Structure 1
Amino acid sequence: MRTGRGTERSTRAPIETCSSYSDRNAAIGEPMAQVSDHGGGVRSIKVPIPDNPLGHTLVYVVDTDRGPVLIDTGWDDPASWDTLTEGLTACGTSAAEIHGVVITHHHPDHHGLSGRVREMSGAWIAMHAADTAVVRRTREARPERWFSYMTAKLMAAGAPEAHVAPLRAARPRALPGLSPALPDREIVPGDLVGLPGRRLRAIWTPGHTPGHVCLHLEEEHPAQLPGHGRLFSGDHLLPRITPHIGLYEDPDDTTVTDPLGDYLDSLERVGRLGPAEVLPAHQHAFTDAPARVRELLTHHEERLTGLLTLLDTPLTPWQLAERMEWNRPWEHIPHGSRNIAVSEAEAHVRRLVKLGRAEAVPGSDPVTYVAV
């Protein structure tokens, strides 16, 4: 289960990094520079994420025959809500006029304000069933259970007691995203999402989350760029950073998942679409999705190869994370980001095991892994 802030990474590291950039899209009015018009009845609003180097989530406003539909909504925070509502006003609409909300994935910087939008407008909320299941677990579970589960997971990964101790003493109210809105519509992979007058097809892209979806707008590009429509890519495909790929957390499910394998397969699927333009949830719009996909596939293969060198000696996931190359020295990585790094190390090791390139050392406790 993941309930913390969404954390993406540069192509070298999983810790929250984001380079600055110049938005090449036209801003709507000087006071509302956070709103950009992408043409063809699509605009975006930069909704801030509090205390996060990513800065903001790009919430897309798509015109339909029944009123505007949002793709993602942003973090549930008063300043974020104010920015969203001001942005909608700049787009000539309001939260009360929203017809529907399509969520790329359940993380709170994407799904956080969905419930408030629905309260204002009566809009439907759509999400893939796998992520809806995560939302349901989050709503039903007591926060103490999450802390105890994470404590056990970190200890099994070889985390030292000094790192685990703060989780034992954590106060439940410190955990964000405890009551995300329960979606009332299911996004079915391969089907058109119900946007009257538009052709928006759901593409299932698991990896960052089990139910992450990209959304393919199967319409001619407004600037007639070469390619096949536009792709709302959520966190799956970003121009200069790649999403954190950790483990899918479900305390009640012992299924051995392969999130990194899911992500790599999903990348290839998106690359084959060949969209004219990608509209991601962070940073900025970009073209040549196949080239970006190739960069990310190469990056992950190089990272897996590097981990095999480290696993010449048996290591726990924690020890592996300590030795991996991040965007800063391990001793400078904050507590919460270390949890994310260890989860990413485990996802990569799990991929190596599935490929037959590494294995668990029999009888090791906590479990160690070694290259085959």
Structure 2
Amino acid sequence: MSEATEATEAAQATPEPTPEAAPHVTDHGGGVWGVKVPIPDNPLGHTLVHVLDTDRGPVLIDTGWDDPASWDALAAGLGVIGLAVADVHGVVITHHHPDHHGLSGQVREASGAWIAMHAADTEVVVRTRSAEPGVWFDYMSGKLTAAGAPEEHVAPLRAARASGRLRTLPGLRAAVPDREIVPGELLPLAGRRLRAIWTPGHTPGHVCLHLEEEHPARLPGNGRLFSGDHLLPGISPHIGLYEAPEDTRVTDPLGDYLDSLERIGRLEPAEVLPAHQHAFTDAPARVRELLEHHEERLTGLWRLLAEPLTPWELAERMEWNRPWERIPYGSRNIAVSEAEAHLRRLVKQGRAEAVPGTEPVAYRAL
């Protein structure tokens, strides 16, 4: 149930300077707009909710964080376009994280819109809603202990569990989607050609959405890509672990992400419309940068494993956008999850192994 740690984005994300005069709504042409919806207390600043005009009414791609200020910003942004929330025909969610899916239920209540999501992320939403909230605290306490976290880091989770403060986590009451996004298929949007591309890694069911229409400015390339968090112009998204507490599968989310990146690079869209930062072109070049970044990162971690390290000790030594002692509590949990994902990849590549007999388990380079 590690999805609950995604209250913020990656620990290494850097804030994007956002001038006060920056426009709230961007007209991307061809019946596509971007609306900045703020994320409270998050260095990313905002989610870019995209509005796609269709013959049956506007469809939102993501909705933003479940917060009154975020709701007001979404409604105001739609108003700039000449729309109201009640006009929304459907909601397409790139992935289940609360800065993307948080307002979906409220939009559906106000408009009667359907909500579509990939089945793998719908499973996460259903699992999170159905579990007793204390299960997450127990799971995270055990997971961090197994990763080698010191007792002083685990103690606040146990204290929160004991105190009954269990309804403060984001995503516990996220809306259950009523439609499934099927990879490779066109979404049933009247008058538009929007095809789903499954891009797991950041979440199990993350999807990018390919608008298979000529770019309104006739930029060279194949249509436009709504990339969610999969492909961002200046940030490498967080890649962590997503097993349920009872799940015995050994996943490789970083490997899934790298494979998905290559698939998007081959698509060669004319323009990418991500969920954070800003629109950009030359997706293949950005894909190459990210592939190189992750290979350098894996090689650097492999070198660190010249001495056996637990996932916590590896996270302490990894390079983040600030010193480890200045990384907030919740972001440290995300960082450890990212260290574990990288360890999974190194083990699968045959470049590292668990050291027999260690508890908590330490890993060493091969």
Q: TM > 0.5 between the two?
A: yes
Structure 2 match to 1:228: 222
Counterpart for residue 346 of structure 2: 352
1:15 to 12, 22, 40: 12
Aligned mates of 2:204, 2:259 — CA distance in 1: 13
State how far apart, in whole Å, the 1-side matches of 2:5 and 2:113 are: 25
Match of 2:133 among 143, 146, 155: 143
Give matches, 1:214-253, under 5 Å: 214-253=208-247
Does the alignment pair 1:369 with 2:363? Answer: yes
Q: Is the 8 A contact 1:193 1:199 kept in 2?
A: yes
Q: Is the 8 A contact 1:4 1:177 kept in 2?
A: no
The one-letter code matched in structure 1 to 2:111 is S
Query: How far does residue 248 in structure 1 lie from its aligned partner after superposition?
Result: 1.4
Deviation at 1:174, TM superposition (A): 2.5
1:6 deviates by 5.0
Distance across 2 between alignment mates of 1:118 and 1:3:
23
Q: Secondary structure at the match of 1:241?
A: coil
Contact in 1 for aligned 2:13/2:236 (Cα 8 Å): no
The answer (yes or no) to whether the contact 2:16–2:45 under 8 Å persists in 1 is no
Tell whether 2:111 aligns with 1:117: no
Q: Which runs of 5+ in 2 are unaligned?
A: none
Deviates more, 1:214-223 or 1:82-91: 82-91
| CA–CA distance in structure 2, aligned partners of residues 18 and 293 of structure 1 | 21
Partner residue in 2 for 1:336: 330
Matching residue's letter, 2:25: V
Mapped to 2, the partners of 1:157 and 1:57 lie a distance apart of: 31
Note the residue ranges of structure 1 that are not aligned, 5 or more in a row: 24-29
Identity %: 77
The correspondence for 1:205, drawn from 195, 199, 202, is 199
- Is residue 73 of structure 1 aligned with residue 67 of structure 2? no
CA contact (8 A) 2:147 2:312 kept: yes
Preserved CA contact (<8 Å) 2:265 2:283: yes
* Alignment coverage as a number of residue pairs: 361
List, as ranges, runs of 4+ consecutive aligned residues in structure 1 with deviation greater than 3 Å: 4-9
Residue 134 of structure 1, CA deviation: 0.1
Q: Tell me which residue corresponds to 1:175.
A: 169
Change (3 A) 1:7 1:292: farther
| Distance across 2 between alignment mates of 1:16 and 1:173 | 26
The corresponding residue for 2:253 is: 259
Under a length normalisation based on structure 1, what TM-score does the superposition of the two structures give?
Answer: 0.95
Structure 2 CA distance for aligned equivalents of residues 325 and 37 of structure 1:
37
Structure 1 residue 142: Cα displacement: 1.0
Q: Is 1:38 the equivalent of 2:24? A: no
- Output the CA distance in 2 between the equivalents of 1:195 and 1:20: 35
In 1: Cα distance, 2:281 partner to 2:202 partner:
21
Match of 2:50 among 54, 60, 74: 60
Q: Partner residue of 2:77? A: 87
Q: CA RMSD in A?
A: 1.4
Q: CA deviation at 1:328?
A: 0.9
> Displacement, 1:21?
6.1
Among 88, 96, 99, the alignment partner of 2:89 is 99
Q: Could you tell me how far 1:249 is from its partner in structure 2?
A: 3.0
CA contact (8 A) 2:48 2:275 kept: yes
